[in-house]
């Protein structure tokens, strides 16, 4: 089969690879019909995630058709159209039984600090991902869900990560009626978080980024008020001025490890890899939120230490909430929101790229060219 | 005003927001949000019927965090460790927990060695590494590289040239080294 393969930082190519096989009785093999590139994939692509091996296939956002099932699979059959959450999870360990599907203890031998994720380095379990024609899906009776008849394929693929994560980010903010919510980052995750904050009753939603085209999307897609941080000397002071010097009630970090806005932080992390991530947006969130407020972290950081302003967070009595999104737990409610037209995932898609040209897709998304917000990958045979 | 008891007034009332934004307040009541109450015990969600899953066969010694009691019943089988990078990875897993910087630093070092060694290996294969196609740099032409940056206040423009250096640097150095080598060998031959 054809599959995207990592070759080293900033380098990938498409290769002929052995088609995945059933390795566990509850596995399924899924023929991918649509995949996506996520902001998280950029951290791998830039060589920031430890134990990213040459030869791995990335891709944790995908939908497809069941091609083959293992002997113990009861809920799926070949031919079923499925959407697959980016988390690999067993369903019954201590954490899964409590709904913490992103923190499963039975699927990642390489680390206990993170669960299993498709195509996301060995630190997340060493599974090949869905930017390929076929993918192995463990625990087929637990993770995948049939795509409802009424749902558009592009809505479905965005629900496997980006949109579910954005909603989860707003949810962890514990928003109450009238809250001022500031979202750092206007990528697919931040845009979804901003749109979701309204559903939870926010009184004002502010989005910060440095890419004007994405801020324009934040206004149209998420009805948000927007600011380009390069146009303001100090984003923290701006946030105070905008809120009568109270600060925002809730701040959401939807940027993560490669944040811009402070060259020293960016270079020591994204380029020199001396930090787990550049916590610029996280630090802005900590300083922008009011005392006693909540910071919700959706941005991903590497497992190494990062220079976070923890003292401010402590002195301000903040609540810090964060996790990888437990995607499947979010779905029932999100399906309703999509069906009602409250959330419109497919409006985030800007590019559809054939698998054979995926290297260009990564560069386009990484360098933020051509108004790119969300690139989808179309496998050759789909 | 923040310096007194009152909360600063809202710019728009809830009714105005409800009228302007489709779905405003649909999840105002926390009960409508997923996972409320938190961590409700559901021992067999979806189609899970096991208490502990069956074990996937271990076909080669699978490296694992020393914070785990045993190899997890299910695991990924992409890219078994091999060569020098593989040896360093195995050492990082065997010796250091996730709590130790040495664990992650060794894994990062192995990643760099893996990338360099496998690039060299491709030159002995039918498909040598190609920095042009593999970096997707063609996207600069296809997707308006110049227009996407010109006249924009983008914070990433200052360091994007560094990527060119990080990625292109080793290739340029290698090309220069090869050129010097060829020059040194050629005159020697000519003299003979
Ligand atoms: N927690 C989870 O489950 C989960 C799931 C998906 C993605 N993520 C993470 O969420 C983050 C965002 O993902 P995405 O797909 O939207 O990525 P993206 O790269 O498309 O978006 C990031 C955005 O942040 C902007 N940005 C950079 N520095 C900034 C700063 N200092 N302040 C404000 N904005 C800044 C960038 O211009 C960009 O628009 C990534 O770190 C990703 O790894 C987490
Ligand atoms: Zn993701
Ligand atoms: Zn589990």
Other CB atoms within 10 A of residue B140 CB: 18
Please report the residues numbered 124 through 183 in chain B whose beta carbons come closer than 8 angstroms to any beta carbon of chain A. Answer: 129-131, 133-140, 142-145, 148, 152-156, 158-160, 162-163, 166-167
B37 near A CB under 8 A: no
Question: Is some CB atom of chain B closer than 8 A to the CB atom of A220?
Answer: no
- From the CA of A215, which ligand is nearest? 1
Main-chain phi, psi angles of B96, to 5 degrees: -120, 135
Give me A45's structure tokens.
């692509």
* Residue B86 pLDDT greater than 80, yes or no: yes
B87 touching chain A per CB within 8 A: no
Q: Which residues are near ligand 2, the ion (C-beta closer than 5 Å)?
A: A 38, 40, 161
State the average pLDDT over residues B137-161. Answer: 94
Pick the residue with more confidence: B121 or B166?
B121
Contacts of B154 in chain A (CB under 8 A): 210-211, 230, 368
Nearest-CB residue to B78 (from A57, A245, A342): A57
The DSSP bridge pattern shows strands A28-36 and A134-137 to be antiparallel
Contact status of B4 with chain A (Cβ, < 8 Å): no
| Of the candidates A47, A299, A255, A306, the residue with the CA atom closest to the CA atom of residue B163 | A47
Q: Which of 3.40.50.720, 3.30.465.10, 3.40.50.300, 2.60.40.10 is the CATH number of A162-322?
A: 3.40.50.720
The answer to whether the Cβ–Cβ distance between A201 and B166 falls below 8 Å is no
Pick from A53, A111, A204: which is nearest to B79 by CB? Answer: A53
Tell whether A324 lies on the interface with B, counting CB pairs under 8 A: no
Q: What is the structure's pLDDT at B167?
A: 86
B165 pLDDT tier (thresholds 50, 70, 90):
confident
Residue A335 tokens, joined = 């399906």
**pTM of the complete model:** 0.96
**pLDDT at site A382:** 65
Nearest to A9 among B1, B42, B115 (CB): B115
A369 with B140: Cβ contact below 8 A = yes
At CA A88, angle to CA A86 and CA A91, rounded to 5?
A: 125
The three-state secondary structure class of A253 is: strand
Q: Which of A127, A136, A141 is closest to A90 using CA atoms?
A: A141
User: Which among B72, B77, B133 has the least Cβ separation from residue A13?
Assistant: B133
Mutate-to-test residue for ligand 1 from A35, A38, A283, highest number of ligand atoms within 8 A of CB: A38
Q: Closest residue (by CA) to atom 9 of ligand 1? A: A299
DSSP B28-76: -SGGGSTT-STT---SS-TT---SSPPPPP-SS-----TTSSS--SS--
Residue nearest (by alpha carbon) to ligand 1 atom 11: A299
At the second CATH level, the architecture of A2-161+326-378 is Alpha-Beta Complex (3.90)
- Ligand 1 first shell, C-beta below 6 A: A 38-40, 42-43, 161-162, 165, 184-190, 208-211, 214, 229, 254-257, 259-261, 280-281, 298-300, 324-325
Q: What are phi and psi of A256, to 5 degrees?
A: 85, -155
Q: Ligand 3 centroid vs A104 CA: distance in angstroms?
A: 4
Higher pLDDT, A283 or B172: A283
Residue A191, CA distances (Å) to A47, A236, A345, B46, B89 in order:
26, 20, 10, 30, 38
Q: Which residues contact B23 (CB under 8 A, 6 or more apart)?
A: A198, A199, A337, A340, A341, A342, A343
ipTM of the complex: 0.96
- Among A36-40, B79-83, B99-103, B167-171, which is the least confidently predicted range? B167-171
Tell me if A271 and B159 make a contact (CB, 8 A cut-off). yes
Q: Which residue shows structure tokens 């785990």?
A: B68
Q: Are A142 and A91 a contacting pair, CB within 8 Å?
A: yes
- B35–A88: do the CB atoms touch at under 8 Å? no
Is the minimum CB–CB distance between A26 and chain B shorter than 8 Å? yes
Locate the domains of chain A by residue range. 2-161+326-378, 162-322
Rounded to the nearest angstrom, the minimum Cα separation between B139 and chain A is 5
- Burial status of residue A224 (CB atoms within 10 A of its CB: 0-12, 13-18, 19 or more): buried
- CA distance to partner chain B, nearest, from residue A126 (Å): 4
- Whether a cis peptide bond, with omega within 30° of 0, leads into A240 is no
CA distance A360 to chain B (A): 4
Q: For residues A206 and A227, is the Cβ–Cβ distance under 8 A?
A: yes
Residue ranges of B 42-81 with Cβ closer than 8 A to chain A: 42-54, 56-57, 62-65, 67-68, 71-79
Residue of B nearest to A75 (CA): B47
Q: Which residues of A touch B171 (CB under 8 A)?
A: none
pLDDT averaged per 10 residues, chain A (length 382):
97 97 98 98 97 98 98 98 98 95 98 98 98 98 98 98 98 97 98 98 98 98 98 97 97 97 92 92 98 98 95 98 96 98 98 98 98 96 67
Query: Quick check: A245 and B2 CB within 8 A?
Result: yes
Position B41 scores a pLDDT of 85
Nearest CA in chain B to A261: B155
Distances (CA, A) of B139 to A357, A373, B130: 10, 15, 15
Atom of ligand 1 nearest to the CA of A188: 16
Predicted pLDDT at B35? 78
Taking CA–CA distances from A121, the nearest residue in chain B reads B78
Query: Would you state the pLDDT for residue B189?
Result: 66
The residue behind tokens 């590289």 is B145
CA separation for the pair A4, A57 (Å, rounded): 5
């Amino acid at each position: 089969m054809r599959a995207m393969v990592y070759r080293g930082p900033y380098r990938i190519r498409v290769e002929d690879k052995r088609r995945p096989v059933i390795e566990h009785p509850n596995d399924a093999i899924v023929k991918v019909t649509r995949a996506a590139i996520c902001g998280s994939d950029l951290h791998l692509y830039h060589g920031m995630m430890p134990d990213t091996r040459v030869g791995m296939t990335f891709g944790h956002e995908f939908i497809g058709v069941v091609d083959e099932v293992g002997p113990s699979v009861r809920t799926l059959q070949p031919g079923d159209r499925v959407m697959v959450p980016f988390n690999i999870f067993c369903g019954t360990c201590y954490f899964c039984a409590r709904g913490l599907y992103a923190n499963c203890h039975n699927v990642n031998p390489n680390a206990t600090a993170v669960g299993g994720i498709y195509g996301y380095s060995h630190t997340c379990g060493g599974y090949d991902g869905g930017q390929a024609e076929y993918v192995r899906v463990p625990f087929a009776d637990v993770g995948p869900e049939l795509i409802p008849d009424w749902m558009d394929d592009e809505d479905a693929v965005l629900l496997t990560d980006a949109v579910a994560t954005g909603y989860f980010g707003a949810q962890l903010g514990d928003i109450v009626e009238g809250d001022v919510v500031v979202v750092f980052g206007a990528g697919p995750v931040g845009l979804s978080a901003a749109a979701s904050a309204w559903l939870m009753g926010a009184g004002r939603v502010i989005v910060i980024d440095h890419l004007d085209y994405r801020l324009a999307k934040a206004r149209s897609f998420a009805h948000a008020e927007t600011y380009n941080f390069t146009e303001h000397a100090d984003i923290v002071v701006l946030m105070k001025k905008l809120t009568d010097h109270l600060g925002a009630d809730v701040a959401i970090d939807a940027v993560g490890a490669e944040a811009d806005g402070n060259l020293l932080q960016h270079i020591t992390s994204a380029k020199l890899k001396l930090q787990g991530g550049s916590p610029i947006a996280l630090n802005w969130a900590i300083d922008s939120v009011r005392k006693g407020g909540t910071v919700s972290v959706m941005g991903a950081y590497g497992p190494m230490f990062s220079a976070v302003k923890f003292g401010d967070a402590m002195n301000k009595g903040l609540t810090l909430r964060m996790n990888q999104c437990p995607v499947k737990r979010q779905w029932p409610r999100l399906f309703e929101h999509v069906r009602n037209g409250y959330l419109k995932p497919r409006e985030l898609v800007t590019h559809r790229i054939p698998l054979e040209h995926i290297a260009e897709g990564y560069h386009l998304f990484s360098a933020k060219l051509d108004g790119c917000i969300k690139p989808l990958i179309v496998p050759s045979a789909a | 005003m923040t310096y007194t008891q009152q909360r600063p007034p809202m710019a728009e009332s809830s009714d105005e927001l409800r009228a302007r934004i489709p779905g405003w307040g649909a999840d105002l009541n926390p009960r409508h949000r997923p996972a409320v109450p938190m961590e409700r015990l559901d021992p067999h969600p979806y189609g899970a019927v096991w208490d502990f899953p069956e074990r996937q066969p271990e076909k080669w010694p699978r490296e694992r965090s020393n914070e785990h009691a045993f190899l997890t019943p299910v695991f990924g089988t992409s890219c078994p460790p091999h060569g020098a990078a593989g040896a360093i990875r195995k050492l990082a897993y065997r010796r250091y927990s996730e709590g130790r910087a040495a664990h992650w630093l060794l894994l990062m070092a192995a990643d760099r060695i893996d990338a360099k060694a496998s690039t060299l290996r491709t030159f002995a294969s039918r498909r040598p590494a190609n920095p042009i196609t593999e970096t997707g740099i063609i996207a600069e032409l296809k997707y308006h590289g110049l227009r996407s940056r010109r006249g924009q206040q983008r914070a990433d423009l200052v360091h994007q040239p560094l990527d060119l250096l990080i990625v292109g640097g080793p290739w340029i150095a290698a090309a220069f080294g090869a050129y010097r080598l060829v020059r040194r060998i050629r005159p020697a031959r000519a003299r003979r």
